[in-house]
Structure 1
Amino acid sequence: MTRWYSLIMFCCSILSLGQASRAQTADTLPAVVQAAEDQNKVTFSGELRPLRGVAGAPAPFYSYFWELGDGAFSFEATPQHVYPDTGTYQVRLYATNNYDDGRPPPTKPRPIKIKNKTYPIAAKPSGFFQGGGNIEMKANRMPRPGEEMVLVIGYRQPAGTKTGGSLLLLYNEKTFKQNNFNLGEARAYHQEKQVPTDSLWAYLPPAEIEDAAFGGPLLALRGPAAHAPLPASSAAHNQQLKAMLLEKMGTFRKNHAWRLEGAQAGAEQFMFVSLQTTPEMIRDTNAVVNITALFMPDDPALEPEEYTMELQIVASHDPNRIMLRNHRMNYRFTGKKKLLTYKIQFQNTGKGPAKKVDIGVRIPDMLNGNSITLQDMQPRCVPCDSAYENQSCLDTVITKDSIHFVFRNIYLPGVQQEGVNDTDSTKGFIKYTINFGKKPAKVPFASQAAIVFDKNEPVITNRSVGRFKPGLSPGIILGYGHRLGSTGKLERGGDKNLTIGASIAPFAPHRRYLQMELYAGIFNEYERFKERRRGGDTVIDNHDYKVMYRDVYEKVNIITLEAVPLQIRYNLNSWVGVGAGALAAINLSTRTRTILKSTMASATGTPGITLEGDLDRKTTYFTKLNPAVFADLQLGRVRTGPAAGIRYLYYMHPSEQRLFVYVSWKI
């Protein structure tokens, strides 16, 4: 029986290894571009590895992004494109595997050779500029560690204006310790030329500015514009523009600039930037990163425009997600008025349209559900309480621990619906703000959404977790120590000492935390009896005296340094805390004064007198390293503010016990 069981387990292991090997191999298979050419009209499709669904998730599917090699692009599964000119075009397919447990298929460009030239075709609005501005961005997928992401940067020059301008791309915010992206490649099709960032000043009125970010003064390039006198108002406007640019650049580690010499008035133009996520990319899948683009037209009548794209770092590609903006907060400045911004994105991934979308969100206990304010939505609807019958509307239902945003009477196409090519039409979102109900406890809090399309099973999103930064809380400590089991007569004063110290800990910790302390014992002095000698005679001022005894004492003054490198503390509540840890004490300096005290009587019986004098003085440094362990109890405002405590310490070399009573104040 054992032999058969071993054989079966061996076969299962071989099969599982084979499946894992095949899965790993499948992840490396590139997306294959298929092209059906008809003169200069090409229909594209992709050959992709089979999807592997995640247990409990909706059915997996691919979403598509095509770069067609001439500045055009598509998010359709099988796009058609007419090339206006002959030539060879590099076509790229970026497929994203939604609800799949593997990696997206690698991208491999395919050259498409067009031999026939067509007549010019009037360009139609692409629908890309949904915000109404002249610059926007889209990403083919949310950033995931170890994957490539493509930014589509679109800009347009308003008709009837001077053409040309500059484009500035900013990424890798300084709020994160690490760089999240590296620039892979920028693919331009309209004479966009990458230039050094500091050359942007060449296209502003001439002025000398100082900016440490560029290592010194930046001078405007000498060109035709540099010699034209400008009104004072234009110069002032330009100084404001420079200040704005420097401020924006100061919040990011990386920036790249392009000159848009080929910008055509009234035309939509696009460039594509590949960003490779770095190995050290932040792994927090609740983090939201910003990428900003600035479009600065050469026409002085046009104001610069900024577009900032928020991207949530993800562990897997799920089109339905919830994210909390600025999810890491400073607890010092968090109170009832602190405003939190949530955004819930959803996408109908089904085969048919959805008429109703119910988004249920769990509200953490520390948040005030009655403070919810709706900021934005897609599709845009009126409130249901003001809608006429069968009008598209949004209903908001708040319960004790949740909120429901219900889109009613809408038409949201499905990704797999026949005839649906615009994936943006299958998406929507809700954006709202909410306040804390009271000063929150310093613990993480999580929200999660369940999205129901019509009567289908709910789609559960990721958990969006809000956290508080640890912060630092310095403190001061003043204490009085008493040694237990003092030797009394032989050693006076050595059982007491006054100590001042400092501590460092996380700010206002809720329960368990680590704390470091450093103390200096400034009044640690004692007197120690050494020996007594009897008998003897002496002469003082021509008078004879009989020496009764001579006592030798040592007066010792010690300056100590005590460090607590390791201490674990636990706050039972806001008023009681306990702790335990280890301490290392070292004598920084020890001053020893040896004193001779002589007690004597005169030969005629005069009452005895005492004379005192120094036999020796010496100072030693850095002596007597003495480790200790301790436990203590603290009462008061133990998280932050004043508190009092009592600590029991056990020193090991030499062995002794002490009680330390102290007051502290954490800032």
Structure 2
Amino acid sequence: MGLKLLPIFFLLIVNFCFAQSDTSLTPIDTFESNIDIYEENGVFHFKPVLRPLVQIPGGRAPYYKYLWDFGDGHFSTQPEPSHQYAKPGQYEVSVYAVNNYDYGPKPKRPKKPVNNKHSNTAIASIHPNNFEQNFFNSNGIFQIYKLSDAKPGEDMQLVLGVNTGGQKGKVYILSNEKIAGLNGFKLAHQSKYYQEKIDTILKNDHLQSMWATIKQSTFTKTGSPDYGIKEISEFSSSQQAVDYFKNLYGAYNSLSAYDIDPQVSDHQFSLLNLDVTEDMLVDTNAIVTITGVFIPENGLANVHQVDIPVVKSHDPNKMSVRPARMSYRFQSKNKTLTYKVQFQNDGEGDARQVRLEMFLPPEVRKETFRLKSLYPQCDTCATPSSMGCYQYYIKDNGALVFHFKDIALPGTASKTLTDPDSSKGFILFEVDMEKKKFRNKSFQSYTDIYFDKNPAITTNISTSRFRQIWSPIVTIGTAATFGTPKENTLQHQFKPGIQLGFGLAPMAPYKKPFWQVEIYTSYYSRTSTTGRQDDKGVISFQENGRDVKYEYQASDSTINRDFLSVQLPVQIRYNISSLLSIGAGVALRKDYNVKYSNTKNFYYASAQGTEENVYTQENINMEKENSPIKYNPFLDINIGRVYMGPAIGFRLSYDKNQKSYSGIYGIWRF
């Protein structure tokens, strides 16, 4: 009965493993975007004409975030900026806009020519540019600004700024972290307003010789707004500097560079357009980083890193996690997750109380909460009655609560608000996971955000998962046959031998079917006997030195064969729990006859006819018996550490020759 159900069970598992893929096309804006321009006393005023925003039903008021490129190496984030050109000439102004809380597609980037007929002017004396003045908040020398988060299928803009200090140097851009395993960013275009010499061929020996000249490196990090993180590393030897930058560069897959010449300008801003590939969809709601390195002639390097959440939509209220994907193979060590919860007040007045109730997976040790950075900046509450401070605690329902008390976070609907970014806040923190107590599955988190006494705003679900890597498998075991199968007059008996094999499967999938392929060899013996049966004939042999002939009345035979079996099992498995796994599949099998012998007994009466004698002959018409390729369906079960480590396996197979046979084996997944 079990054998009849085997094909049905196999088909059910096959059908269970199929899943529909959900693909979506990035919507395209069909609105004719434009820029209105008018000039007044040599100052140009710009106003964007973009697709009207569409509010999500029941959602918050949408708005645009802007990055203006004036075509001369200067930029602004004001909605309707003014700009004065330093030199006469033809320029092309354009505006990049990101639609927040919006139901429609990303607007097209409008461009428009500008003809400045006025003579040379001093830009700083009229309409100072706040964006450029406040650009170098982190370290005063080198920084990266991101216009938006990374939405797969769209492009995003970065502005790299360098305060040269009279030093020549080189800027390096590192992207596509190896830990993410995807090439999510592609450099589409870079501006050349300051005669940047873009280096497309970077040689490793040249890099190391340059690293060896670095005496000090200042590390800063931002994520809109500034994290306030600043670390200075001094190198006592050239090898120490080489090791530092080799590890930094080795964490990324993509590297580009350009030269800086201070004779062009002291402050230089370069615009980078990055395409966010659809591959990034797998890491939506994760945090990835892009790192910039400025190495000047004086050997005092600056490393700036910007955190970029990967998003499905541009929503200022969100939760992100890093790393998005981890290695399960090293799960015996404690894992540290870095979370960022960002929020924005979209009301008219200031938010006085902001409470974040974070629901983290049970595998996270909430008591290990470590705050890395926050905005608005405030101190911890010394007492429950403290003002303008923060406190955190764990609620009875398991939520980790972070509470900003008596602050003043302005709202986007305020009539006096000039910068929408000033209405944003965030917390950046780390937590540890339980050691050895988590399964190879995704870990999901989300946050309920409360502004004063308003209802909760629930963020996206932030997911951290294990990387899809392969697990090598080693097996050793033996097999035995049920009963004694018959083939015509032959009755077969099988003696088990050693089985040694190797396999490959995904690393410890959790609650989903997966494929596993193996190859193994086994050695077994088969003894085939024909019982005594009436059989008359004449045999000739020597007896006492002379040839004799006897008539025999009966005979039997025994054939001994040793086989080397090569099998290629392919199966679909399912981990029921961390201790139990089942599978079903088909093995391609071929048996090679490596040793064989045949004996036949003849039963005859003596010359006096008073007793029965036996004469035995060996190797009568004996040939090899290599089998054709066979297909053996089987069921399989593993008990033990089925995710990773040792376990015991039981396999029930069917073969038309051996009929039903089973094996027991030890298996170790690495």
TM-score of the superposition, structure 1-length normalised?
Answer: 0.82
1:362 shift after superposition: 0.9
Q: Is the 8 A contact 2:573 2:581 kept in 1?
A: no
Match of 1:399? 395
Matches of 1:437 and 1:644, distance apart in 2: 27
1:384 shift after superposition: 1.5
1:489-509 CA-partner distances (Å, limit 9, x unpaired): 965663443351434434444
Seen in structure 2, the aligned counterparts of structure 1 residues 67 and 497 have a Cα distance that, compared at 3 Å, is: same
The answer to whether the aligner puts 1:139 opposite 2:141 as a matched pair is no
Matches of 1:537 and 1:629, distance apart in 2: 46
1:272 shift after superposition: 0.6
1:218-241 CA-partner distances (Å, limit 9, x unpaired): xxxxxxxxxxxxxxxx99955655
The answer to whether the aligner puts 1:82 opposite 2:84 as a matched pair is yes
| More moved, 589-598 vs 471-480 | 589-598
Seen in structure 2, the aligned counterparts of structure 1 residues 242 and 645 have a Cα distance that, compared at 3 Å, is: closer
The one-letter code sitting in structure 2 at the alignment partner of 1:557 is D
Match of 2:354? 357
Give the alignment of 1:215-614 within 5 angstroms: 241=241, 244-262=244-262, 267-300=266-299, 303-334=300-331, 337-385=334-382, 390=387, 392-400=388-396, 401-437=398-434, 439-471=437-469, 472-484=471-483, 486-487=485-486, 491=490, 494-502=493-501, 503-514=503-514, 515-529=516-530, 533-536=535-538, 538-540=540-542, 541-542=545-546, 544-548=548-552, 549=554, 551-571=556-576, 573-589=577-593, 592-600=596-604, 602-603=606-607, 608-614=613-619
| More moved, 54-63 vs 596-605 | 596-605
Q: Is the 8 A contact 1:76 1:423 kept in 2?
A: no
1:164 shift after superposition: 1.4
Q: The residue matched to 1:188 in structure 2 has which SS?
A: coil
1:305-345 CA-partner distances (Å, limit 9, x unpaired): 11122212211111121111012122232357322111112
Match of 1:628? 632
Q: The residue matched to 2:653 in structure 1 has which SS?
A: strand
Matches of 1:253 and 1:665, distance apart in 2: 33
Give the total of aligned pairs: 610
1:464 shift after superposition: 0.5
| More moved, 414-423 vs 429-438 | 414-423
Q: The residue matched to 1:494 in structure 2 has which SS?
A: strand
Seen in structure 2, the aligned counterparts of structure 1 residues 52 and 556 have a Cα distance that, compared at 3 Å, is: same
1:142 shift after superposition: 1.1
Q: The residue matched to 1:355 in structure 2 has which SS?
A: coil
Seen in structure 2, the aligned counterparts of structure 1 residues 334 and 634 have a Cα distance that, compared at 3 Å, is: closer
Matches of 1:595 and 1:353, distance apart in 2: 100
1:447 shift after superposition: 0.7
Seen in structure 2, the aligned counterparts of structure 1 residues 261 and 112 have a Cα distance that, compared at 3 Å, is: same
Q: The residue matched to 2:329 in structure 1 has which SS?
A: helix
The one-letter code sitting in structure 2 at the alignment partner of 1:627 is Y
Q: Is the 8 A contact 2:211 2:245 kept in 1?
A: no
1:70 shift after superposition: 2.1
Seen in structure 2, the aligned counterparts of structure 1 residues 279 and 286 have a Cα distance that, compared at 3 Å, is: closer
1:5-42 CA-partner distances (Å, limit 9, x unpaired): xxxxxxxxxxxxxxxxxx977x1224311122112212
Match of 2:653? 649
Percent identity over paired residues:
28
Seen in structure 2, the aligned counterparts of structure 1 residues 281 and 539 have a Cα distance that, compared at 3 Å, is: closer
Consecutive unaligned residues in structure 1, runs of 5 or more? 1-22, 210-233
Q: The residue matched to 1:498 in structure 2 has which SS?
A: coil
1:649 shift after superposition: 2.7
Match of 1:155? 162
Match of 2:11? none
1:30-62 CA-partner distances (Å, limit 9, x unpaired): 431112211221222111112222234322221
The one-letter code sitting in structure 1 at the alignment partner of 2:371 is L
Seen in structure 2, the aligned counterparts of structure 1 residues 271 and 208 have a Cα distance that, compared at 3 Å, is: closer
| More moved, 234-243 vs 87-96 | 234-243
Q: The residue matched to 1:385 in structure 2 has which SS?
A: coil
1:598 shift after superposition: 4.0
1:410 shift after superposition: 1.9
Q: The residue matched to 2:355 in structure 1 has which SS?
A: strand
- Alignment RMSD (CA, Å): 3.5
Match of 1:13? none
The one-letter code sitting in structure 2 at the alignment partner of 1:629 is P
Matches of 2:210 and 2:378, distance apart in 1: 49
Seen in structure 2, the aligned counterparts of structure 1 residues 137 and 262 have a Cα distance that, compared at 3 Å, is: same
The one-letter code sitting in structure 2 at the alignment partner of 1:475 is V
Q: The residue matched to 2:422 in structure 1 has which SS?
A: helix
1:446 shift after superposition: 0.9
1:563 shift after superposition: 2.7
Q: The residue matched to 1:166 in structure 2 has which SS?
A: strand
1:370-395 CA-partner distances (Å, limit 9, x unpaired): 121111111211001269853x2112
The one-letter code sitting in structure 2 at the alignment partner of 1:258 is Y
The one-letter code sitting in structure 2 at the alignment partner of 1:455 is K
1:144-178 CA-partner distances (Å, limit 9, x unpaired): 122121110011134xxx52111111223334454
1:206 shift after superposition: 8.8
Q: Is the 8 A contact 1:533 1:551 kept in 2?
A: no
1:280-312 CA-partner distances (Å, limit 9, x unpaired): 444431333321111011124xx2111122212
The answer to whether the aligner puts 1:616 opposite 2:603 as a matched pair is no
